[in-house]
Structure 1
């Protein structure tokens, strides 16, 4: 087998849109979202949004990443991989011109599998951040609106397979169930090179 036949490429996009319920952010602080995505071999890629004030909790910022690897590693990433989103704040006060370290306000983990469950291969949703501490009565945990997308243009065979309504093997003839998406993705990765 030619070593290049086993290679695959997928384009992924992460979006950080806005936040709400930022009652826990100290006055005068800025805040941002840090994202971690698995890069294989226990490595991670880190993305960080720009810092905004607590009075304007909007980023509308996207990060793109082209993932290359074996077909099996791409399947594994989409079926088992996750993206970790951390909402962080930084005090506006600096000492001797040095930026202060950030403080973790909350964390959420979103599996790439949720993107595969979407008929459009993209998801936009609010994720509630786990704070790790008990919140006072009436205080809601912070939430961040995020987007995740796998670019269908990179895997055109998947789109074609779904449009042709090929069966996933379970007798299903729909175009949006997880089994059909995985069947189409598998076909795309088999014929991508």
Structure 2
């Protein structure tokens, strides 16, 4: 007999739409958004949008860039996800640097949104502005409007039932209708490779 395990397949879509009220001080620079997705086991995946040039005559910076991630986990993993937040950082890189691509970026603003709010929303999908807390270094011009990042988050979930076969469940014969011959051949190859 096999072991039946209930798994959940989660598909995440993160869309970075635009930033508003961005008025930077000093030299010309490019802006990008860095965000971190929870990947289980206390690890996070770092993702960056494309870099776009900041201009003093533009208060709205548009990315309209999507990222997708698909993973599997059990109910415990989904409960852990509800405790996590997506952290968004608006960052800039000075364009005057010769080695701009490898130069360090500066944090302009930081904000976060909980996965719980997405999972508990209607259709497990939200689109909203996140207020980005400014840094101590005051990279932004003095402005009475808060720095905003418009994002959209979507989660699709589907249940999977996975059956794990035990070694003793594999049939030695190739004629029975209860076992899959491909599983048996894969098992034999795996054992042969393990013995090498």
TM-score w.r.t. the length of structure 2 is: 0.70
Measure the CA separation in 1 of the matches of 2:24 and 2:119: 34
- Runs of 4+ in structure 1 deviating by more than 6 angstroms, as ranges, are none
Question: CA 1:101/1:136 → structure 2, altered by over 3 Å: closer, same or farther?
Answer: closer
Equivalences for 1:147-158 in 2 at 5 Å? 147-151=152-156, 154-155=157-158
Question: CA 1:73/1:92 → structure 2, altered by over 3 Å: closer, same or farther?
Answer: same
Equivalences for 1:29-48 in 2 at 5 Å? 29-48=29-48
Measure the CA separation in 1 of the matches of 2:3 and 2:29: 51
8 A contact 2:107–2:135 mirrored in 1: no
Question: CA 1:102/1:3 → structure 2, altered by over 3 Å: closer, same or farther?
Answer: farther
Measure the CA separation in 1 of the matches of 2:39 and 2:107: 23
Match of 1:160 in 2: none
Describe the superposition over 1:97-125 as per-residue Cα deviations: whole angstroms up to 9, x where unpaired. 75321000011110011112321210000
Measure the CA separation in 1 of the matches of 2:128 and 2:49: 17
Measure the CA separation in 1 of the matches of 2:73 and 2:41: 12
Unaligned runs of at least 5 residues, structure 1: 156-188
1:141 shift after superposition: 3.2
Unaligned runs of at least 5 residues, structure 2: 162-196
Structure of larger gyration radius: 2
Is 1:17 matched with 2:12?
A: no
Question: CA 1:94/1:85 → structure 2, altered by over 3 Å: closer, same or farther?
Answer: same
Match of 1:53 in 2: 53
8 A contact 2:93–2:100 mirrored in 1: no
TM-score w.r.t. the length of structure 1 is: 0.71
Report the RMSD for the aligned CA atoms in angstroms: 2.4
Match of 1:184 in 2: none
8 A contact 1:16–1:145 mirrored in 2: yes
The number of residue pairs the alignment matches comes to 155
